[in-house]
Amino acid sequence: MRVVLASAHRYADLARLWYRFVARDLAPALRATGAGVEVVLFRDAAPDAFDPRHFPGATLLAPGPFARDFLEFYDAALQREGDVLFLLDADLFVLDGAWAASFLARFTDPSVAAVSLLRRTEHPGVYALLARSSAYRGLPAPALAPSYEGLGTAVPVNRQPGDCAAIALRSTGLEILDVPASEAEGRVSDFHGTTVIRASREVFGASLGPRFDALLSEKPYFAMGAYDNLLLGELHRAVFGAPFAPDANGVHLAGSATEESLRAALSRVSDRKALARFLAYADRSNRAAAGLFAKEGLPFAPPRLLPRPRAWGARAWGIARRVAGRPD
């Protein structure tokens, strides 16, 4: 069996961290099953920023006619020589390589089209998807692209990458196995929105000026991405001794949000529900980060972004809402 492990990255520092875990834990575990493994990194925006010495053994690709951006890359990766395409998100880390590799055995069953190690939405997506290449290649191209259905109707549906393929394959009777979240807990470290906030600051941060930082207190997804970058940045700095998500001046995290700017943004959040949700999210991220730090033999201490009484108050309020059956 030949496995193509493919991932698209916009930022070289995150890619370097991601590849450290892949090269040390995941790829060897896949090879230990007897599989041949090719690791393919798509450098989505600034290919020259990726130092090839940081990715020994990997195939580094750049945008071109075969894949103009990261979403087209998914289908391009499907065309590479292999039996299983293992798509893994840029901010997703497999801590237990042997566990992930064990799912290759499921492909001895011809009715299995894919195994999803992590689902974030209704459908399996492509976050951590082991896909039988022949099954996906049999779909109309582009098989893995996102799309809209029902444009012009009252309720258009936005299909995420991989959704249409999953629906089509399941409709033919093939199976896509969803690994339960409880089984993946502790074996996969999952972060969210880490690239979105950096790309957003890159594309329109300068034109918004100070207004950009205000978005951290208004848009939960930005705050979550910023928080996850804080955690990953701490690990990156400890492991590589280099700043993470720097701005043009090289300031650590200024290309995302510094700890100070995130703290200031959270101090402006007056909505208790929003604050409770953020803290619940941060707890989840802390567990994910603790796994990464433990793998590196490093101590982990979550950053304290809120005064303790305020954090306790928001947490207590969130718990009370959940107990009352009104989590949102």
Partner 1 sequence: MTDPAPAALVLERGEFRHQEKFGPGAVNRGAVLLECTWDGGVFESGVMLGGVFRSGTFRGGVFLGGVWLSGTWVAGDWEHGFGPDGAYRPRTDHP
Interaction site with partner 1 (CB under 8 A): 63, 68-69, 71-72, 142, 145-152, 156, 200, 203-204, 207-209, 211, 215
Shortest Cβ distance from residue 58 to partner 1 (Å)? 23
Rank residues 147 and 267 by Cβ distance to partner 1 and give the closer one. 147
C-alpha 137/C-alpha 235 separation (Å) is 38
Shortest Cβ distance from residue 210 to partner 1 (Å)? 9
Which tokens hold the place of 51? 């130092």
Shortest Cβ distance from residue 166 to partner 1 (Å)? 16
Sole residue written with tokens 């998807």: 129
Cis omega (within 30 of 0) for bond into 142:
yes
C-alpha 19/C-alpha 27 separation (Å) is 10
Shortest Cβ distance from residue 235 to partner 1 (Å)? 29
Rank residues 48 and 109 by Cβ distance to partner 1 and give the closer one. 48
> Residue 180: phi, psi to the nearest 5?
-60, 145
Rank residues 211 and 304 by Cβ distance to partner 1 and give the closer one. 211
Shortest Cβ distance from residue 23 to partner 1 (Å)? 28
C-alpha 87/C-alpha 83 separation (Å) is 13
Rank residues 56 and 209 by Cβ distance to partner 1 and give the closer one. 209
Shortest Cβ distance from residue 78 to partner 1 (Å)? 15
**DSSP summary character for residue 64:** B
Shortest Cβ distance from residue 206 to partner 1 (Å)? 9
Which tokens hold the place of 111? 């009715």
List of long-range contacts for 142-150, beta carbons under 8 Å, 24+ apart:
142/72, 142/74, 142/75, 143/75, 143/78, 144/71, 144/74, 144/75, 144/78, 145/71, 145/72, 145/74, 145/75, 146/71
Rank residues 156 and 250 by Cβ distance to partner 1 and give the closer one. 156
Rank residues 148 and 312 by Cβ distance to partner 1 and give the closer one. 148
Rank residues 147 and 172 by Cβ distance to partner 1 and give the closer one. 147
C-alpha 261/C-alpha 238 separation (Å) is 21
Strands 147-149 and 157-159: antiparallel
Rank residues 51 and 69 by Cβ distance to partner 1 and give the closer one. 69
DSSP for 92-138, written as a single string: EEES-HHHHHHGGGGGGSTTEEEEEEE-SSSS-TTSEEEEEHHHHHT
CA distances from 41 to 44, 143, 160 (A): 9, 20, 21
Rank residues 151 and 248 by Cβ distance to partner 1 and give the closer one. 151
Shortest Cβ distance from residue 149 to partner 1 (Å)? 6
- Chain-centroid distance of CA 261 in Å reads 23
In the chain, the amino acid numbered 251 is V
Shortest Cβ distance from residue 44 to partner 1 (Å)? 9
